Amino acid sequence: MLIETVFRSEDVPAADRFEYWRELVSRTSRPMDLSSENAADFWAHQRLIGLGAVSVWPAECQPVVYRRTPKLVRQSDPESYHLTLVLQGSGGASWGKQEAAYHAYDFHANDSSRPSEMWTGQALSRIVGIEVPKAHLPLPRRRAEQAIGRRMSGLEGIGALLAQFLTQITDNTNQYAPSDAPRLGTVLVDLVAALFAHTLGTEDSLPPDTHQRNLALRIQAFIQQNLHEPHLTPRAIAAANGISLSYLHRLFQGEDETVSAYLRRKRLERARQDLANPAMRAVPIHAIAARWGFTHPAAFSRAFRTAHGMTPTTYRHQALHLPV
């Protein structure tokens, strides 16, 4: 699994919790002054996940005000961009006369070199923060800085892809090995750069390799959204995404499997989840196969057995503890 550092406020004496949280936020992100009406008995949970040069930190906390003063900027500047995905709650930020409000599934961007004030709403907030060193973002700094304060949605386009990637990593770090961290960090930086560029309408400024990796991720997301379509083939995938079939195959050359293998694996994963779902125990296996694009039950059974070493029937009996 990925290496994590976990903080739980209940592990610290009540009188020390807010100060400990303040120090933790300053180490995780950048030095800031914090205040809260709940400081006397503060509640917060945070995990810090290192992905090479990039760090991700899912957190839940009571309402807080964060201030990055000019003095703190002069004293310490990690030269990083900070991006927050708001999963629950609301908040806002200001940079002098500029101000922005944020709600669930908005992204909030900030710059460690700019004084700012941020705050969360009056209810419990749940967020995922990202810290990206400026030197690693493949965009000119003057251009990237123009994205600060802009509204960026996590419900559509590149923002939805980035939100999905973040939740996939943070929901289950057990699915990755520590050696995966740098690769995941590279993907994350590419997606942040693409979100900034899309927000500014300057996608053409992205380096070709960043553009190509992001296109591959968008196509993978398209595949997962359309697994149920029986006519979803590499040719159909290429046509739907406005590229040639040969270019689609080239995009997947950098992956560990072909586009056909990726499509088959994702379909089998969804079918396997259904077979192990007690709520679907009465659904015939051939219906589950058809639900995920397998039009021939025999072909599904062969593919499932090759992937899992047993037939779909045997797998279902074992998963649901059914009598043979």
User: DSSP secondary-structure letter at 323?
Assistant: -
Q: Contact 252/227 with Cβ under 8 angstroms?
A: no
Alpha-helix residue ranges (DSSP H) falling in the chain: 17-28, 70-75, 141-145, 157-171, 181-200, 208-225, 234-240, 245-251, 259-275, 285-291, 297-308, 312-320
What does the pLDDT read at residue 204?
A: 75
- Mean pLDDT over all residues of the chain? 91
In the chain, what are the domains? 4-177+191-201 (2.60.120.10), 264-320 (1.10.10)
pLDDT in tens, 164-221: 999 989 998 888 888 999 989 999 999 999 999 989 888 777 788 888 888 888 898 8
pLDDT at 140: 87
> What's the CA gap between 29 and 186, in Å, rounded?
19
Give me the pLDDT at residue 68, please. Answer: 94
Note the pLDDT of residue 289.
Answer: 94
Question: What is the model's pLDDT at position 93?
Answer: 93
pLDDT more than 70, % of the chain: 100
Q: Which amino acid is at 82?
A: H
The pLDDT tens digits for 305-322 are 999 999 999 999 999 887
CB atoms within 10 A of CB 31: 19
> pTM for the complete prediction?
0.79
Give tens-digit pLDDT for 119-169: 988 788 999 999 999 999 988 888 899 999 888 999 988 999 999 999 989
Structure tokens given for 99: 């101000």
| Residue 285 pLDDT exceeds 90 | yes
Instruction: Show contacts of 267-274: CB within 8 Å, 24+ apart.
Output: 267/227, 267/292, 267/293, 267/294, 268/292, 268/303, 268/304, 268/307, 268/308, 270/227, 271/300, 271/304, 271/312, 272/304, 272/308, 272/315
Indicate the residue type of 97. Answer: K
Mean pLDDT check: name the lowest of 35-49, 66-80, 199-213, 288-302.
Answer: 199-213
Q: 324 falls in which pLDDT band (50, 70, 90)?
A: low
Q: What is the pLDDT of residues 9-46, one digit of tens each?
A: 998 898 899 998 888 888 888 889 999 998 888 999 99
Torsion of CA 46, 51, 53, 55, to 10 degrees: -20
Confidence of residue 296 (pLDDT cuts 50, 70, 90): very high
- Provide, rounded to the nearest whole percent, the portion of the chain with pLDDT above 90: 65
